[in-house]
Structure 1
Amino acid sequence: MSSDVGATELGELLQAAARAFSQRGRARFGEHGLSPARVRLLTTLHHRPGGRMRDLADVLGVSGRAVTPLVDALESDGLVARTTDPDDRRAFRLTLTDAGLGAIERITSLQHTISEEIFSGLPAADRDRLGHLLKAFLATMPGQPCPPDSGPR
């Protein structure tokens, strides 16, 4: 069976789709005063509460210097709290405040809305097929996490 789409074109299509998704997300989150960096940091803290700034920087793939001003801003906005690390008094552990947890609820709702907007033009069967194909693709990529199956929609 031959394919009408070569590997190079497939890669270009995947990159174009990722860019379009990111652009739509940035625009919609921006309408709510949320930058991609804030969203990533808040959602990472939500999934890894009590983490140290150094560990957070590692997970985000940035330097500690890049994380510090963002954490400072989120702390100033009352979304993040720093506590001294009991194992290393020079380090801090980060947690979301109640306001930060409220921001997570807004982020989750926005992520759902943005995804629904983006994929609304695809029939349900195509959406399911795309989801299966992307999961299969990610499963072939060493070191890349594949989101868990979220079950029926």
Structure 2
Amino acid sequence: MATSASSLFTALIRAEVRAWNSVETALSRAGNPLTLGRFLVLRTVRDTPACRIQEVASSQGITLGAASRLVDRLHRDGLLTRTRCTHDRRATILTVTDVGLAHLEAAAQIVEAAQKTAFSALSAPQREQLALMLPSVGQSGDPVWRYASASEGVHA
């Protein structure tokens, strides 16, 4: 009997929510002030040269408005700075502050440990197979993914 798309979708969403919550719980228990969402945005800003809100939105799969509000809160909390782009005055370049970097560095170890735990029930070949399958699911549901570079895919 074939597994229905509905049951696969439900299982995927439940797994994602449980994995997300396990990382959030690990960060909270460790006393790190970052949520997983904030961690992911700060990591994107740190790792993206001349990062703008568009890159934040794209990396997180959220709208520009949602990314702008998130960046506003991170800026308000002293975790990001905004600097006018010298060659495009309409653009703002984002940079992680020293405080943001300290929180990010501490959170990275917690997140990595929680991620390892989340996938500990899978063998290495199963993790590899999952890493190959997930982008296909995303691409079929969101046409924008079809044009994403290979470096944006899931890596084991």
Fold match (TM-score > 0.5): yes
Q: Which residue of 1 aligns with 2:142?
A: none
d(CA) in 1 for partners of 2:16 and 2:153? 16
d(CA) in 2 for partners of 1:63 and 1:128? 34
d(CA) in 2 for partners of 1:73 and 1:139? 30
Higher strand share: 1
Tell me the TM-score normalized by structure 1.
0.72
Q: Which residue of 2 aligns with 1:41?
A: 41
> Which whole-Å deviations, capped at 9, do the CAs of 1:25-72 have from their partners, x for residues lacking one?
222234422223312321221221322224433443334433334323
What letter is aligned with 1:133?
Q
The structure 2 residue matched to 1:16, chosen from 14, 18, 43, is 14
Higher helix share: 2
d(CA) in 1 for partners of 2:118 and 2:60? 25
What letter is aligned with 1:129?
P
1:139 Cα deviation from its structure 2 partner: 5.0
For these two proteins, the number of residue pairs brought into alignment is: 142
Does residue 1:6 correspond to 2:11, yes or no? no
What letter is aligned with 1:91?
A
Return closer, same or farther for 1:5/1:19 CA change in 2, 3 Å cut-off. farther
Q: Which residue of 1 aligns with 2:129?
A: 133
d(CA) in 2 for partners of 1:71 and 1:12? 31
Question: What SS class does the counterpart of residue 82 from structure 2 fall into?
Answer: strand
Q: Which residue of 1 aligns with 2:75?
A: 75
Q: In the alignment, is the contact (CA less than 8 A) between 2:135 and 2:154 conserved in 1?
A: no
Q: Which stretches in structure 1 are left out of the alignment for 5+ residues?
A: none
Tell me the TM-score normalized by structure 2.
0.71
The structure that has the greater radius of gyration is 1
Identity across the alignment (%): 25
Q: Which residue of 1 aligns with 2:94?
A: 94
User: Which consecutive segments of 4 or more residues in structure 1 shift more than 4 A?
Assistant: none
1:92 Cα deviation from its structure 2 partner: 1.2
Does residue 1:61 correspond to 2:68, yes or no? no
Q: In the alignment, is the contact (CA less than 8 A) between 2:54 and 2:64 conserved in 1?
A: yes
1:5 Cα deviation from its structure 2 partner: 6.3
